[in-house]
Amino acid sequence: MYIIKMGTNKSLVVTIHSTIYQGESNADVLTFIIPKTYEGIDISECVVTLRYILPDGTGGSEELELYDEPYNNNYYQYHLGVKSSFTMYDGEIEVWLTLLGAENEMLLRSGATVVEIVATKDITDYFSSSEMNQLDKLALKVAELETEKADNLSYDDGTQQLQLTSNGELIGDAIDISQMSGDTPIIYFGESSEDAEIDTEGGA
């Protein structure tokens, strides 16, 4: 858990520092301790937003959630779960807070501090070429299975055949329903009705 306290002078200070690793998601929580009032403004009536700049130079913002229980008589506590988008890159993330009023006017901007994201190693960088080949084959197989997954049915009025489709493409064997009747329904799977008759009558 990271705990960051905003002082009465609007500065941010990290009071409890935990280790947050690159790529983690929902493993840690950022807790912000904020004075209940600032120049007569009740902070709980404001929208408190975390602004940040990632190590790659891109920015973002997240609205903080007011915790049910105050931190103490003088401070509220706001929480934010650490998402994977926040931990995408290792290095220092510059963070600060803004408080918006009922009319979305900015009432307060805090000073900045940093949250450190610790680098982690990518295990695929240490795989041998043969292991990478196996991973590539597995990824290809998964991709093939995804394309073969049935998501609809297609019926051809001319041939009276019913067939599964995946992403608009026919897959699997067609079902010939031309010989179906109300009394004795017959479904030929993977072959035409004529082929089935030859098999049953002539054994060919």
Asked, for residue 128, whether it belongs to a domain, the answer is no
Which residue would you say has higher pLDDT here, 178 or 146? 178
At 124 the pLDDT is: 61
Q: In angstroms, rounded to a whole number, what is the distance separating the alpha carbons of residues 175 and 188?
A: 6
Bridge-based pairing state of the strands 47-53 and 59-63: antiparallel
Same domain flag for 13 and 107: yes
Q: In angstroms, rounded to a whole number, what is the distance separating the alpha carbons of residues 70 and 92?
A: 29
Q: In angstroms, rounded to a whole number, what is the distance separating the alpha carbons of residues 113 and 31?
A: 14
Same domain flag for 103 and 171: no
Same domain flag for 21 and 111: yes
Least confident range from 28-32, 86-90, 92-96, 153-157: namely 153-157
**What does DSSP assign to residue 43?**
G
Last residue of a domain, one of 120, 142, 170: 120
Asked, for residue 189, whether it belongs to a domain, the answer is yes
- DSSP reduced 3-state for 44: helix
Asked, for residue 137, whether it belongs to a domain, the answer is no
Same domain flag for 7 and 99: yes
Bridge-based pairing state of the strands 29-35 and 75-81: antiparallel
Task: Please count the structural domains in the chain.
Answer: 2
Whether 101 and 46 have beta carbons less than 8 Å apart is answered as yes
The mean pLDDT of 131-135, rounded to a whole number, is 63
Same domain flag for 75 and 156: no
Same domain flag for 160 and 64: no
Q: In angstroms, rounded to a whole number, what is the distance separating the alpha carbons of residues 194 and 203?
A: 13
Dump pLDDT digits (tens) for 157-177: 778 787 777 777 777 777 777
Dump pLDDT digits (tens) for 36-95: 998 888 899 899 999 999 999 999 999 999 998 889 999 999 999 888 888 889 999 999
Determine which helix (DSSP H) or strand (DSSP E) holds 130, and give its type and residue range. helix 129-148
Same domain flag for 40 and 92: yes
Asked, for residue 201, whether it belongs to a domain, the answer is no
Same domain flag for 99 and 156: no
Same domain flag for 67 and 111: yes
Closest to 46 (Cα-Cα) out of 17, 78, 86: 78
Same domain flag for 14 and 55: yes
Domain with 59, as residue range(s), is 2-120
Q: In angstroms, rounded to a whole number, what is the distance separating the alpha carbons of residues 20 and 18?
A: 6
> How much helix, strand and coil, in percent to the nearest 5, is found in the chain?
20, 40, 40
Asked, for residue 135, whether it belongs to a domain, the answer is no
Looking at the whole model, is its pTM more than 0.75?
no
CATH number for the domain harbouring residue 42:
2.60.40.10
Same domain flag for 92 and 178: no
Phi, psi (degrees; rounded to nearest 5) at 195: -65, -40
